[in-house]
Amino acid sequence: MTVEGRTWAGTTLTDRRAMRRRQLLDAGLDLLGSGGSGAVSVRAVCRQSKLTERYFYENFADRDELILAVYEGVVHDAHRTLVEAVDTAGRGAEARAEAAVTAFVTLILDDPRKGRVLLLAPLADPALNRRGTERIPMFAELVREQLSDKVDEGDRAMTATALVGGLANLFTAYLGGSLDVSRERLIAHCVRLVLGANALHS
């Protein structure tokens, strides 16, 4: 059936498989990031990736599995970027917050498809809702660690929820161009939000 070692057009089978998977995921990201999950059909992904259904089903059991893989890939990338930025930054809360926000803004401006997927897909997509995928989960994490643990659990949950929603809405608006503000001011404002969150529990 399949022979591993054999080379084909200069590349090995494993390489070609990986490349096709990447092409499919990239096409999925394109579609999910532009037209929402409604635009992600098997045929559209195949058209976009210039591959055929054969390879689609070689890589994914069905449409939903691709969508989930695209989303989780983006989340994974973003998480890695954020963790790296925060670790590189100093130990102060402000420095850490600024590093995280800057990294995120850079990420979503660098590749707006990823931004849209991160910010909108888990809300908009049935395939992702069902899996209980959280909204920008890496930020929720970051935010929670920032919050004082001396306040009530419910208050902390509400503050974290509000903060994540606020940041997400800011990023979304900025990405959509409806926020006429420089990148630096956006970042500064987000940092103020994150740092100011504790002040709510008075």
Partner DNA sequence: CTCAATTGACTACGAACGTTGTCAATCCTA
Partner DNA sequence: TAGGATTGACAACGTTCGTAGTCAATTGAG
Q: How far is the CB of 134 from a second copy (least distance, A)?
A: 9
Figure out which of the listed residues 47, 110, 126, 148 binds a second copy, where binding follows CB under 8 A. Answer: 126
Give just the sign of the alpha carbon dihedral 35, 163, 70, 124.
negative
Q: How far is the CB of 13 from a second copy (least distance, A)?
A: 38
Site string for a second copy, 62-101 (x = CB under 8 A): ----------------------------------------
Q: How many CB atoms lie within 10 A of CB 71?
A: 23
Beta carbons of 19 and 108 less than 8 angstroms apart: no
CA–CA separation, 146 vs 181, rounded Å? 26
The dihedral over CA atoms of 174, 188, 82, 74, expressed in degrees to the nearest 10, equals 0
Q: Which does 193 bind (CB under 5 to 8 A by kind): DNA, a second copy, none?
A: a second copy
Figure out which of the listed residues 34, 52, 88, 148 binds DNA, where binding follows CB under 7 A. Answer: 52
User: Does residue 150 touch DNA according to CB under 7 A?
Assistant: no
**CA-based end-to-end distance of the chain:** 68
Per CB under 7 A, residues contacting DNA are 1-4, 6-10, 13, 16, 40-44, 50-57, 62-63
